[in-house]
Amino acid sequence: MNQVQHVKPRIPPRFCRLRPLQDEDRMISPSPPIPHLSDNSQDDYLYTLEDRRKHQHQAAARSQWTNHEGLGGLGGWDVNTRMGWLTTAGVLALVVPSLYMYTASIVSTRFPALRNKRICILIAHPDDEAMFFSPAVMALTRPGTGNHVKILCLSSGNADGLGETRKKELAKSGVILGLRKPDDVFVVDKPEFPDSMTATWDKAAIASLLRSAFAPNLARARSSNTPPTASIDVLITFDDGGVSSHPNHISLYHGAKAFVEDLVAGKPGWESPIDLYTLTTVPFVRKYTGIFDTLPTLLSWAVGAEKKDKKHPGGLVFLSGLGGQGSVTTAWKAMRQGHKSQMVWFRYGWITLSRYMYINDLRLVKIRRE
Ligand SMILES: [Zn+2]
């Protein structure tokens, strides 16, 4: 028969410091998990009270992360929530562009549009047409619209001495965006219209320039009391916010408005031969929301744009596609290949995120008759 030998356990010195287990100690639960021990190794796993407190604290911390009924089921965060986020991101990546493209097709076919018009886009600097107006330029030059679009730029963008380069870049960009030929781009390079962040251009000087370009017979029409004619039907420029508050942009608004108002000034029965549309400046937070600004834009159009006059729609909305000719990729090409001198690092942020690369909304300016 085997003889069982009873061996008195060896008690480590630190255990000797323990007092008898008190009630408060029994409240500490659960006991720390003790791994399966061989008989002769138990001594190594005897715990002091401090050890137990420490393990209890760790166990509580662990349970917080694994308790689904506790702190919002953070235990599921690692796997379930992460999967939830991935699924949501995947659905958004599919649904949002699809919804946007569907909306863009509705807008291009059902919303008010300009057809068979002679249109001038009035800008302050080479690259304004691509960075701010590209959805409008591409939509208005689309084959089948019958429009003839030209760009008039009132400075060569010579602030950094690149004026001559930028003139060529503008012509190249304009053709990429859909203009018929480089000659449809005109650049005015005069000292009274300097490319400057601090210069406000004289609105009377702008109005005078526009008058000589598009309504040179105005004075004769007035003297003969016949309504004036013009060489364009539509003039498009910035609004009084200038998108970026650039004083050159804002000057264009005031100059263009003065020009169009002058066409019919003092003649209540006359109708302006030119419709002036301005590009809506949106608040800062909306500028960088890309296609997500579609809904606010459409709501603003639905609420604020006059729709009764079919010949002169009060609001125009243009949504660029996401791929192919005439889409935002064409606008990116106009910037990257057209305006090479301007493609510094932060411009990539603008052309990727800015809603103006995808969305344009224009408003018809009401003409004051005095
Ligand atoms: Zn500009």
Ligand 1 centre and the CA of 357: distance in Å? Answer: 14
Ligand 1 centre and the CA of 314: distance in Å? Answer: 25
Q: What is the pLDDT of residue 15?
A: 47
DSSP-derived secondary structure letter, 19 = P
In a 13 Å sphere around the CA of 181, the CA atoms on its Cβ side amount to 1
DSSP-derived secondary structure letter, 9 = P
* Residue whose tokens read 């008058």: 211
- Which tens digits make up the pLDDT trace of 70-83? 444 455 567 788 88
User: Distance between alpha carbon 115 and the CA centroid of its chain, in Å?
Assistant: 28
Ligand 1 centre and the CA of 132: distance in Å? Answer: 9
| Cis, bond preceding 30 (omega within 30 deg of 0) | yes
Closest CA to 15 of 54, 47, 55: 47
Ligand 1 centre and the CA of 154: distance in Å? Answer: 10
CATH class for domain 111-364? Answer: alpha beta
Q: What is the pLDDT of residue 165?
A: 93
Ligand 1 centre and the CA of 312: distance in Å? Answer: 27
Q: What is the pLDDT of residue 21?
A: 54
Ligand 1 centre and the CA of 298: distance in Å? Answer: 25
Ligand 1 centre and the CA of 313: distance in Å? Answer: 26
Q: What is the pLDDT of residue 216?
A: 93
Q: What is the pLDDT of residue 337?
A: 95
Residue 142 neighbours by CB distance under 10 Å: 17
Cβ proximity of 126 and 134 under 8 Å: no
Q: How many residues are present in the chain?
A: 370
What is the Cα–Cα distance from 83 to 219, expressed in whole angstroms? 71
pLDDT in tens, the chain (370 residues): 444 455 555 555 454 455 555 555 555 445 555 445 444 545 555 555 666 677 676 765 555 544 444 444 455 567 788 888 888 888 888 889 999 999 999 998 889 999 999 999 999 999 999 999 999 999 999 989 999 999 999 999 988 888 899 999 999 999 999 999 999 999 999 999 999 999 999 999 999 999 999 999 898 888 888 888 999 999 999 999 999 999 999 999 999 999 999 999 888 888 899 999 999 999 999 999 999 999 999 999 999 888 888 889 999 999 999 998 899 999 999 999 999 998 988 889 999 999 999 999 999 998 866 6
Q: What is the pLDDT of residue 62?
A: 56
Concatenated DSSP letters for 219-287? HHHHHTT-----S-SEEEEE-TTHHHH-HHHHHHHHHHHHHHHHHHTT-TT---SSEEEEEPPPPHHHH
Ligand 1 centre and the CA of 95: distance in Å? Answer: 34
What is the Cα–Cα distance from 180 to 184, expressed in whole angstroms? 7
List the structure tokens of 20.
Answer: 């008898």
Q: φ, ψ for residue 273 (rounded to 5)?
A: -75, -10
Domain boundaries along the sequence of the chain: 21-66, 111-364
Q: What is the pLDDT of residue 48?
A: 58
275-279 and 359-364 beta bridge pairing: antiparallel
Cβ proximity of 173 and 335 under 8 Å: yes
Ligand 1 centre and the CA of 113: distance in Å? Answer: 26
List the structure tokens of 158.
Answer: 């010579």
Q: What is the pTM of this model?
A: 0.77
Residue 124 neighbours by CB distance under 10 Å: 24
Ligand 1 centre and the CA of 127: distance in Å? Answer: 7
Ligand 1 centre and the CA of 186: distance in Å? Answer: 15
Q: What is the pLDDT of residue 88?
A: 84
Ligand 1 centre and the CA of 167: distance in Å? Answer: 13
What is the Cα–Cα distance from 212 to 262, expressed in whole angstroms? 13
Ligand 1 centre and the CA of 185: distance in Å? Answer: 16
Roughly how many angstroms between the first and final C-alpha of the chain, as a whole number?
126
Ligand 1 centre and the CA of 148: distance in Å? Answer: 23
Ligand 1 centre and the CA of 97: distance in Å? Answer: 29
Ligand 1 centre and the CA of 6: distance in Å? Answer: 95
Q: What is the pLDDT of residue 71?
A: 47
- Which tens digits make up the pLDDT trace of 291-336? 999 999 999 999 988 888 888 999 999 999 999 889 999 999 999 9
